[in-house]
Homo-oligomer: A and B are copies of this chain.
Amino acid sequence: MNLNSLDKILTSVASGKTTVDDAIESLKYLSFEDIEYAHIDHHRSLRKGFPEVIFGQGKTSDQIIGILEKMMMQENIVLITRINKHNAEKVTSHFPDIEYHEDANMAVWKKHETAMQGKGTIVVLSAGTSDIPVAKEACLTAKYMGNNVESIFDVGVAGIHRLFDHKELIDKATVLVVVAGMEGALPSVVAGMVSKPVIAVPTSIGYGVNLGGLTALFAMLNSCSSNIAVVNIDNGFGAGYMASVINRV
């Protein structure tokens, strides 16, 4: 039911052409979906500033271009995650104003600069050099969602002193994203140092019993610190998104 139909029924009631009982009958079977749809539209407008996202993995460059063409009409900013270099080159040669961040496997199209929306600073930490792409995905997602983002890479627990070198920046964070593969211990240590929310991201980096990231995931869920919650393996985008949502609380 759109507003037109509603207008018609009500006008008819106002004019006495339709009785109240008949109108009730019509409106009772009014499908809530339509109203819900309107509601959702309104709801979406509340969410302004949230980028749309294309999950690039498993899509051809043609498919990505097709989706982009439609989204560009309605959106201010579109992120493409998990896009490899080959596809990124095809997409950027088609849309030259798209930026490609190879180290994060991510591309971004935006109409204008993102307005700052988060109140504090999101700090992204990562344990090993190979965790960096996931950490960068988190950084860029948070940045394009309008946050001040800082990052500290390569501070694994086997050289715990390197972590302490950055204590000042860590203390400054309102939300922390901590990315780690292998034994997944960094989030616990970081969470023990602060009283801010820590979003932990396990990565699939490792070998042997890393089990594609399950080991790091389970270790993080078992953390003896309580200011930690965890997102899916390698889900840098999700962590950056969740951190942004928290940073707007």
Asked if residues B28 and A6 are in contact (CB atoms below 8 Å), the reply is: yes
Q: Bound complex: CA of A196 vs CA of B28, how far in Å?
A: 24
A160 to B40, CA, bound (A): 10
Contact with B along A229-244 (1 / 0, CB 8 A): 1111111011101100
Name the one of B158, B184, B217, B224 contacting A225, with C-beta atoms under 8 angstroms: B158
Q: How far is the CA of A185 from the CA of B175 in the complex (A)?
A: 22
24 contacts between A and B (CB under 8 A): A10-B13, A10-B27, A11-B20, A13-B14, A14-B16, A27-B27, A31-B165, A31-B167, A32-B164, A50-B195, A160-B160, A182-B223, A182-B224, A183-B183, A184-B185, A185-B219, A197-B246, A197-B249, A208-B213, A209-B221, A209-B233, A210-B218, A218-B219, A229-B242
**Given the complex, which residues of B lie within 8 Å of A232, measured CB to CB?**
207-209, 221-222
Instruction: Using CB atoms and an 8 Å cutoff, list the residues of chain A in contact with chain B.
Output: 3, 6-7, 10-11, 13-14, 16, 19-20, 23-24, 27-28, 30-40, 43, 46-47, 50, 53, 57-58, 119-120, 127-128, 130, 156-161, 164-168, 174-175, 181-185, 188-189, 191-193, 195-197, 199, 202, 204, 206-211, 213-235, 237-239, 241-242, 245-247, 249
